[in-house]
Structure formats: C-alpha cells, structure tokens
C-alpha cells in the first residue's frame, strides 16, 4: 500500500494554503464582475470547499486504484465529468443562498468556471499520479535489492555448507601428521583433497551428470575419510553396468553420503561399512545408501533429517514429487533410498 500525499503534514499544509489562496483570487475576480463582497465570499466558499473535497476524494481514491499510465483519456474524461458535477451541484446549492441576479451571473460564467475546475482537477490528478508512480518505482527497486541480497546470502551459505570447514581442517590436520612419517601418503591426500575441492567449487547446481561421474566424486570424498578413519571405515560401491550411464543432478548424492558419514562414522566407534548401491527399475535410477548408526545416542531420524531436507527439497523442485527420497532404519542400519526418474 502506498502512502497518500496526505500522510505528510507538509503536503496537508500545502493543500490547505493552495485552496485559501485560490479562494481569495476567486473572490477578487467575482468583485470585478460586480458581485457584492458578501455574495462573492459565499460563492467562492461554496465552490471551492466543494472542489477541494472532490480533489481530496480523487487523491485518496488514486491511492487504492492507480490506472495505467497510458490511460490519458480516462483521466481527462474523469476530470471533465467531475468538473461538470461540481458546477451543477454548486449552482444548485447557491440557488438557495444568493439572489436571482447573482445566480444569472453564475450561469453566464459557467464555461470559465468549468474550464478552471477541470484544469485544477487535472493538475492535482497529474501531480498525484506522478507521486504514486515514484513510490511504486522505489518499492520495486527495494524489492529487487532484497531479492538480490537473499540470493547472495543463499549462495554464500551453500558455499560454506559445501566446503564443510570441519572436514577441510581435519583433513589438513591429517596431512600435517602424514608429512613427516609418510610423505607419499601426504602427497596423495593433498591431490585428493585438491580434486575434491575443485569439483565442489566448479559444479553448477543445474548441471546433470552421469552416475559414473557422481560415483567417482563420492569415491574421492570417501577416500579422504579413509585416510582419517582407515582403521575402521570400509566402503562398498556397486552399480549395474547400464545404470552407470544414467543421469542425475550434480552433487545430489553428496549430502546423503555426508549424512551417512556423520551418523555412521563420526558418531560410532567400531568398524563400519558404508555402502552405495545403484540399479535401474521402472525407468527409475534407484540409489540406496546404507550406514550403521549408534542406536544408543542417535535415534533414527523420523522422515528426513536435517542433512536430507535439502535433498528432499531439490528433488521436489526438479520433479514436483515428494516420494523420491525415503529412509528407513532396521536394527542399527540406516537406509536412504533416492529415486531419479529417467526420460
């Protein structure tokens, strides 16, 4: 909702001052036309109070309904009709107050009064249309800035999420430990970490890749985790041969595997296996990820956990379907299943 010009005290004052000034001019003109002073004041007051009221109504109604800018005819017609109404009603009221002689003078001057009335209404309408249009533009500008800001925030957040500071710093710490004792391993880890980061940074959200590429990338991530937790982490990645060439949105599986690592590896103590299994069924690429979890400390997440809600949302945006991500827990194994429709 826009602000009316009346919301500012300054404008209200201008409005009143304008009408006082105009009424005085009106009186002077009528005196020139041989009105008595009293009649001149009555005529001027009735005419101008009424015209001011009409202007006020126009200003307020424009606040609620602003016709398109190119509808010049609409504005002109409205002003002419309003001016006509104004003249007729004013004459009708004055007929009860002033004498026959003066009323005749009024009738003679109708064309001039009409022209002035239409002109004044026209000017007021024009000023207000400009005023409201300016506000509309400012509002649009503000909204656009807001949208830009949100988009930027989201992007930064995404980047931070992808980079996972903990993962990065812990990996660097492992390299730090390997450098002296096992330089070759350290070098290998640096290569893996670099490749992983490069992939994370360059991937565009809307790109689709083959399952083979996505699995290679996940393997890289899991290999890095194996350097840190090699003593107890084993992985198992399986896929039907023809599923490898199926396509899926880039990095879709990454959060699922991260979730599996978080609950299956970071929060457990024994030897564990994380498995990824891909197959095709009913023109759907089905990927199943399994990880153990510590039932004592983390209850199986109902529905979709925090890490998986982004996957769920992304699948919904892509396919308008809510049933593509399902999870289940049996004993101490957590199973996440992602389905990707194929064209």
Partner 1 sequence: MIKVIIIDDEPLARNIVKEYLADHAQISIVQECNDGFEGVKAINQHQPDLIFLDIQMPKINGFEMLELLENPPAVIFTTAFDEYAIRAFETHAIDYLLKPFSKERFDKSMQKWITQQNTDKNISTYSALADATFQQQLNQNRIVVKINNKIKIIPLQDIYFIEAADDYVKIHTSEGEYLKNKTMQYFETLLGGGQFVRTHRSYIVNVQYITKLDPYEKDTYTAILSSGEKVSVSKTGYTKLKQVLGL
x-marked contacts with partner 1 along 177-216 as a string, rule CB under 8 A: xx-xx-----------------------------------
| Integer Cα distance of 238 and 307 in angstroms | 23
Which of 107-115, 134-142, 207-215, 266-274 is the region at the interface with partner 1 (rule: CB under 8 A)? 266-274
To the nearest 10 degrees (0 to 180), the angle between helices 183-202 and 110-163 is: 160
Q: With contact defined as beta carbons under 8 Å apart, do 257 and 218 qualify?
A: yes
How many CB atoms are located within 10 Å of the residue 255 CB?
20
Return the residues of window 62-101 that contact partner 1 according to CB under 8 A: none
x-marked contacts with partner 1 along 210-249 as a string, rule CB under 8 A: -----------------xxx-x------------------
Candidates 268, 291, 327, 336: give the one binding partner 1 (CB under 8 A).
268
Nearer to partner 1, 48 or 291 (CB): 291
Candidates 7, 176, 236, 238: give the one binding partner 1 (CB under 8 A).
176
Can you read off the two tokens belonging to residue 1? 């909702």
Long-range contact set of residues 301-305: C-beta below 8 Å, sequence gap at least 24:
301/327, 301/334, 303/327, 305/259
Which secondary-structure segment (H or E) carries 335? strand 333-341
Which of 7-15, 88-96, 148-156, 170-178 is the region at the interface with partner 1 (rule: CB under 8 A)? 170-178
DSSP string, 203-224: --TT-EEEHHHHHHHHHHHHHH
The SS3 of residue 269 is coil
x-marked contacts with partner 1 along 272-311 as a string, rule CB under 8 A: ----------------------x-xx-x------------
The dihedrals phi and psi of 340, each to the nearest 5 degrees, come to: -125, 110
Candidates 17, 172, 201, 295: give the one binding partner 1 (CB under 8 A).
172
Total residues binding partner 1 (CB under 8 A): 25
The dihedrals phi and psi of 289, each to the nearest 5 degrees, come to: -120, 125
Least distance CB 159 / partner 1 (angstroms): 15
| Integer Cα distance of 75 and 132 in angstroms | 15
8-state DSSP, 302:
S
Candidates 10, 68, 166, 302: give the one binding partner 1 (CB under 8 A).
166
Nearer to partner 1, 166 or 283 (CB): 166
Which of 109-117, 210-218, 261-269, 275-283 is the region at the interface with partner 1 (rule: CB under 8 A)? 261-269
Which chain residues interact with partner 1 by CB under 8 A? 165-166, 169-170, 172-178, 180-181, 227-229, 231, 266-269, 294, 296-297, 299
């Amino acid at each position: 909702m826009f602000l009316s010009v009346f919301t500012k005290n300054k404008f209200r004052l201008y409005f009143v001052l304008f009408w006082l000034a105009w009424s005085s001019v009106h009186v002077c003109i009528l005196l020139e036309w041989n009105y008595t002073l009293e009649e001149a004041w009555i005529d001027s007051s009735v005419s101008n109070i009424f015209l001011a009221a009409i202007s006020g109504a126009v200003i307020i109604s424009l606040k609620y309904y602003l016709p398109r800018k190119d509808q010049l005819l609409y504005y002109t017609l409205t002003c002419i009709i309003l001016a006509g109404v104004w003249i007729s009603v004013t004459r009708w009221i004055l007929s009860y107050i002033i004498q026959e002689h003066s009323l005749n003078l009024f009738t003679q001057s109708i064309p001039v009064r009409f022209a002035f009335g239409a002109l004044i209404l026209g000017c007021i309408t024009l000023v207000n249309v400009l005023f409201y249009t300016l506000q509309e533009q400012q509002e649009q500008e503000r909204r656009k800035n807001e949208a830009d800001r949100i988009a930027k925030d989201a992007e930064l957040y995404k980047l931070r999420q992808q980079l996972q500071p903990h993962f990065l710093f812990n990996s660097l710490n492992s390299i730090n430990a390997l450098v002296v004792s096992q330089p070759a391993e350290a070098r290998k880890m640096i290569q893996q970490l670099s490749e992983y980061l490069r992939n994370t940074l360059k991937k565009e959200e809307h790109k689709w890749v083959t399952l083979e590429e996505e699995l290679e990338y996940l393997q890289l991530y899991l290999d890095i985790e194996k350097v840190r937790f090699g003593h107890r982490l084993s992985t198992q990645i399986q896929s039907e041969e023809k599923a490898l060439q199926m396509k899926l949105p880039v990095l879709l599986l990454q959060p699922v595997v991260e979730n599996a690592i978080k609950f299956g590896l970071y929060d457990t103590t024994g030897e564990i296996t994380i498995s990824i299994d891909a197959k095709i069924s009913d023109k759907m690429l089905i990927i199943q990820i399994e990880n153990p979890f510590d039932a004592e400390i983390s209850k199986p997440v109902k529905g979709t956990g925090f890490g998986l809600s982004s996957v769920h949302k992304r699948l919904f945006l892509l396919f308008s379907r809510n049933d593509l991500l399902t999870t289940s827990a049996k004993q101490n194994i957590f199973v996440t299943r992602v389905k990707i429709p194929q064209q």
